[in-house]
Amino acid sequence: CGIFGIYSREDNVSLSTYWGLYALQHRGQESAGIAITDGAWMDVHRGMGLVSEVFRHQLPHMEGQRIAIGHVRYSTTGSSLLINTQPLMVTYSGGHIAMAHNGNLTNAQELRCTLEETGSVFQTSIDSEVIVNLIARSRKPTIEEKMMESLTKIEGAYCLVVMTEDKLIGVRDPHGFRPLCIGKTADGWVIASESCALDTVGAELIRDVAPGEMVVVDEAGLHSYGFAENDAQALCIFEYIYFARPDSIIDGQSVYQARLEMGRQLARESGYKADIVISVPDSGTTAALGFSREAGIPFAEGLMKNRYIGRTFIQPEQKKRDLGVRIKLNAVRSVVEGKSIIMVDDSIVRGTTSGKIVHMLKEAGATAVHMCISSPPIAYPCYYGIDTAVRKELIAATKQVDEIRDYIGADSLHYLSLEGLYRSVANIKYDNMCYACFNSKYPASTPCESHCGSNK
Ligand code: 5GP
Ligand code: SF4
Ligand code: MG
């Protein structure tokens, strides 16, 4: 998911949030929503589809609006339904709260059971609603304390933007799994999943929210609170491999430079030679460029992507994904015919994309297709907010590399080593990243460990 929040004295905060979400569209395409407040009232508008579709006819509007938050959703828990769209908004004794969440709680079921036993009623099936409930039920006097108390109870991955009538709050979990950064505009503050959204609304990147930090923006400015002991950071390395936009900077590391280096590492590790290097656009392109430069093999555009289509993977159902590949990509015969090809992509999850593309290239006359992947085999599921499928669907959970090569019909297949991968993310220490989907070393609890009786 992608989240965005803005506090501004004069701006049209609703419109800025719209553009911010537009820049974060790659983080989720199922639904979008914006909540705004003028200091007394709060309103929210949510819908299924892309940002441009949900707000085609109107943006939420209020005279004197000052704060807005927004969300684009990509479902990990809770199905893809209107009821599960965000921001969530509740009214309680203390006023209104709206919240948008990126991540995945690992003890949501357990907490939900406890809350239900003591009278809470849930309207959605998303884990984020648990957090709103905890905040609304807290007996602490201030919103800051209510938040802090609630945050000590939840586990897993979460970045939050929360809005009250007069405050904008940003939170990053103690492991810092997902990115969250702070920007400054001429008359206010922005909090967003990625810095590309700050650029879009003309905000200057000030810094990232630290793991275990809560920042509160009000009339007096920005305040920082620490709500957790210093756990080692476990930033999701998949943000660099695939998820984030290459023009974003996360925790001081340029996503673009990391991808370029992954490609260079792939060239060195694989030693593959061919006539041309091509990418699976768009997510494989930067790594393919790195490969081409390192190996001294020309980069060529062997596959064209229909630019009006979204990310195929983010379609929740397999049927849509199968059709999606053919609608999305096509081989450029004049480029690939009679050529041996190195094809670079960021990841293989189920193998749907790769198999179809190799077939497409061979049909268009490629003499050989050597596939290079800028991540190690994904053999374990993610519980922290990226939908890398359940284990039985992951092709690398049951097949060895040579079996996968045969399955997708490639002439060779090389996956970037874990070492090659973390070396590419030069500005972040090895110990400060999560690689659990590659090596099963989960840095935080997993749902199985903390499940409640009624929901096994
Ligand atoms: P597959 O077809 O092997 O199931 O999926 C791999 C392809 O899906 C890659 O081209 C990758 O760029 C794309 N993709 C889209 N969304 C995701 C995601 O959330 N995670 C991963 N790992 N790959 C994704
Ligand atoms: Fe990221 Fe993989 Fe860790 Fe999930 S398991 S947070 S996708 S590195
Ligand atoms: Mg891709």
Same domain, 226 and 262: no
- Residue span of the structural domain in which 47 resides: 2-231
In a shared domain, residues 418 and 293:
yes
Residue 220, judged by CB atoms within 10 A of its CB (0-12, 13-18, 19+), counts as exposed
Of 415, 352, 422, 430, give the one whose Cα is nearest residue 378: 415
451 has a pLDDT exceeding 50: no
Q: Where among 215, 231, 247 does a domain terminate?
A: 231
- What is the helix (H) or strand (E) element at residue 249, kind and residue range? strand 249-250
Ligand 2 atom closest to Cα of 380?
Answer: 5
Residue 213 confidence (pLDDT) above 90: yes
Residues 65 and 23 in one domain: yes
Percent of the chain with pLDDT over 70: 93
181 and 145 within one domain: yes
Comparing CA positions, the residue from 316, 376, 383, 28 lying closest to residue 177 is 383
Query: Looking at 65-79, 241-255, 318-332, 408-422, which range is the least confident one?
Result: 318-332
CATH no. for residue 285? 3.40.50.2020
In this prediction, residue 331 carries a pLDDT of 95
Measured CA to CA, the distance from residue 347 to residue 11 in angstroms comes to 40
Q: Which of 22-31, 124-133, 302-311, 384-393 has the highest mean pLDDT?
A: 22-31
Q: Which ligand neighbours the alpha carbon of 305 most closely?
A: 3
Q: Among residues 194, 214, 231, which one ends one of the domains? A: 231
Map residue 167 onto helix, strand or coil: coil
Residues 320 and 424 both lie in one domain:
yes
346 annotated binding-site participant:
yes
Annotate 189-207 with DSSP letters as a single string: EEEESSHHHHHHTTPEEEE
Q: Given a cut of 80, is residue 388 above it in pLDDT?
A: no
- Per-residue pLDDT band for 320 (boundaries 50, 70, 90) equals low
For 137, half-sphere exposure in the C-beta direction (CA atoms, 13 angstrom radius) is 18
Does residue 452 belong to any structural domain of this protein? no
Residues 164 and 291 in one domain: no
Ligand 1 neighbourhood includes 283 CB (under 6 angstroms): yes
**Is pLDDT of 332 > 60?**
yes
Closest CA to 63 of 25, 136, 118, 14: 14
Assigned domain for 327 exists: yes
Model confidence at 308: pLDDT above 90: no
Task: State the pLDDT confidence band at 454, using cuts at 50, 70 and 90.
Answer: very low
Q: Would residue 248 count as lying in a domain?
A: no
Residue nearest to atom 4 of ligand 2 (CA): 382
pLDDT interval class at 338 (50, 70, 90): very high
Tell me how many degrees the CA angle 128-385-126 measures, rounded to the nearest 5.
Answer: 25
In a shared domain, residues 42 and 179: yes
Sign of CA dihedral 447, 448, 449, 453: positive
Under the banding of pLDDT at 50, 70 and 90, the label for residue 43 is: very high
Cβ of 86 below 6 Å from ligand 1: no
Residue bearing the CA closest to ligand 1, atom 5: 349
Co-location of 199 and 300 in the same domain: no
Let me know if residue 247 belongs to a domain: no
d(C-alpha 199, C-alpha 285), whole Å: 22
Please give the Cα distance from 146 to 124 (Å, whole number).
Answer: 22
The domain that holds 112 is classified in CATH as 3.60.20.10
Which residue, 231, 265, 292, sits at the end of a domain? Answer: 231
Please tell me the distance between residue 19's alpha carbon and the centre of ligand 1 in angstroms. 25
Q: Which residue has the tokens 């979204």?
A: 310
CA angle 394-400-402, nearest 5°? 120
Kindly report the number of other CB atoms within 10 A of residue 440's CB atom: 11
Q: Are residues 199 and 279 in the same domain?
A: no
CA distances from 93 to 97, 100, 120, 137, 209 (A): 11, 20, 14, 9, 29
Report whether 166 belongs to an annotated binding site: no
User: Does the beta carbon of 346 lie inside 6 Å of ligand 1?
Assistant: yes
On whether both 154 and 290 belong to a single domain, the answer is no
Report pLDDT for 7. Answer: 97
Residue 372, phi then psi, degrees to nearest 5: -125, 130
Going from the Cα of 301 to the center of ligand 3, the distance in angstroms, rounded, reads 15
pLDDT digits (tens, 9 = 90+) for 224-237: 999 998 778 999 99
Residue 94 confidence class, pLDDT cut points 50, 70, 90: confident
pLDDT, position 456: 27
Which residues have a catalytic role annotated? 1
312 alpha carbon to ligand 1 midpoint, in Å? 8
Answer yes or no: is 117 within a domain: yes
Residues 225 and 265 in one domain: no
Task: With respect to residue 443, please indicate whether it lies within any of the assigned structural domains.
Answer: no
What domain count does the chain have? 2
pLDDT given for residue 127 in this prediction: 87
Atom of ligand 2 nearest to the CA of 378: 2
Are 406 and 274 members of one domain?
Answer: yes
What band does 393 get if pLDDT is binned at 50, 70 and 90?
Answer: confident
Tell me the two tokens of residue 195. Answer: 């810095």
- Residue 119: is its pLDDT beyond 60? yes
Q: Is residue 240 part of a domain?
A: no
Residue 454, classified by CB atoms within 10 Å of its CB into exposed (0-12), middle (13-18) or buried (19+), is exposed
pLDDT at 316 over 70: no
Do residues 70 and 37 make contact, with C-beta atoms less than 8 angstroms apart?
no
pLDDT at 288 over 70: yes
Q: Is 16 annotated as a binding residue?
A: no
Instruction: Answer yes or no: is pLDDT of 258 > 50.
Output: yes
Indicate the average pLDDT of the chain: 92
Query: What is the model's pLDDT at position 447?
Result: 84
Say if 425 falls within a structural domain.
Answer: yes
